[in-house]
């Protein structure tokens, strides 16, 4: 949660994309997971942050791959099990930008995303 402080910087804009399954993937105890889901709910209303969620039933049109982060069209980091790759060549960055755009087109945002998060939060609380 410490890493989330960067989201408070007024001069930055963030675009996040995740699969709905991530809402149900336990990376802590129930209390931690519920807190993370509440933070996601708040994030859907943040002015400099856009959160897209690809619903479970959505057919992927982009091959599933490792998690990646794009930094201002200058650099992409790709997480693997053994290392983090840093890509800086423009043609490589563009491939990831295109993949992100295609995945974001599959995602829901706003009220629909909040419903998905609330459903996962509800399931978390009921466990």
Q: What is the pLDDT of residues 5-32, one digit of tens each?
A: 555 566 778 999 999 999 999 888 999 9
Reported pTM: 0.85
User: Which has more confidence, 47 or 53?
Assistant: 53
Q: Answer yes or no: is pLDDT of 3 > 90.
A: no
Q: Give the model's pLDDT for residue 7.
A: 58
- Compute the C-alpha angle 119/103/29, nearest 5°: 35
pLDDT band at 62 (very low <50, low <70, confident <90, very high): confident
Residue length, the chain?
Answer: 127
pLDDT band at 118 (very low <50, low <70, confident <90, very high): very high
User: Which has more confidence, 96 or 9?
Assistant: 96
**Environment class of 37 (CB within 10 Å of its CB; exposed 0-12, middle 13-18, buried 19+):** buried
| DSSP codes joined into one string, 35-57 | HHHHHHHHHTT-TTEEEEEE-TT
Q: Answer yes or no: is pLDDT of 1 > 60.
A: no
Q: Answer yes or no: is pLDDT of 68 > 60.
A: yes
């Amino acid at each position: 949660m410490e890493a989330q402080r960067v989201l408070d910087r007024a001069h930055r804009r963030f675009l996040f994309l995740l699969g709905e399954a991530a809402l149900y993937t336990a990376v802590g105890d129930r209390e931690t997971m519920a807190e993370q889901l509440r933070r996601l709910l708040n994030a859907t209303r943040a002015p400099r942050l856009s959160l897209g969620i690809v619903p479970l039933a959505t057919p992927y049109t982009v091959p599933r791959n490792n998690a990646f982060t794009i930094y201002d069209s200058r650099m992409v980091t790709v997480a693997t099990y053994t290392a983090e790759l840093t890509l800086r060549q423009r043609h490589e960055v563009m491939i990831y930008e295109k993949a992100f755009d295609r995945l974001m087109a599959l995602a829901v945002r706003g009220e629909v995303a909040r419903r998905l998060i609330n459903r996962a939060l509800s399931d978390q609380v009921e466990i």
